[in-house]
Structure 1
């Protein structure tokens, strides 16, 4: 006599799959909600001063000086106004990297401002990457948008972090990732000439 189909076992298996699916969906929802909550909570943002070393995770940063104008000693000449910030950067990771482009940002940038170019202070060469454990003085240069008003004589910057994870969520491999803003920096700006100052 042919065996009867076991509807009870099928029902139990379906229930087990349903419970597993609901559990996985719940875990994803909890993880997502936790990430949203953590992102919404204000972090302790430090106020640092010019000349004060600050650890951002991947980098140690020391801001030295800032100036604004067309002609700047040691940099290629241009007819556009530029904002220059001189920094000491030390790469604290184990690999050469150029991940400093998002490290320093203006708190209130003018419309149309692009990311800065970085030059070596010692020879004005464009920075390609900085080696581990070797402090280097660099110059971050923003080309000022045409028609934008000059910056104030005291300018605020935001300093972002980079966070190391032994296993990322996508590949399960170790890497550095962009983190939140961890500090602000108020710097005096040397306005180099009357034209740059808008006079």
Structure 2
């Protein structure tokens, strides 16, 4: 197990007595709006800390990790990913720069754009991208970082059904090739049906049903 949660309480939103999340698999979080799905993701990389209880990452207490170092291993993509003014290439490289990694060659950048089916040139300005194209760009940027765990909050909300399946299938295939772990929030039943290897259903009545 890559994560283990015990007796978690968080702001009256989450009440989790015992939860285990497997490594090297795709886990989908589903449930009603307000059930705490995004809150759970944020707890897993210490964007927030629980009011009580323990979270273990690889059998080590999460609060023993430096939050910045942890987020390089456990990286979250929000529902509205940030896009900086500038070119697609600059936006792909910025994640590497911020995490003190070496920049990638243009050939690597082109390949990652192909993986997420973003058919744009590297010198295209991001202000010309649609919402769905911005999501693909954010997924490509995340692939370049190669974290151990990908926390995805509605990563395909701006894509149509056909595109979401194609893009996420290719994305997840690449993550699995690198032996990564994916924990994903999705309202898409078809995406969860096809991609989920484990499901966690969060209920609004502050209980997890696992």
Rg larger in structure: 1
Q: What is the TM-score normalised by the length of structure 1?
A: 0.23
Determine which structure has the larger helix proportion and give its number.
2
TM-score normalised by the chain length of structure 2: 0.22
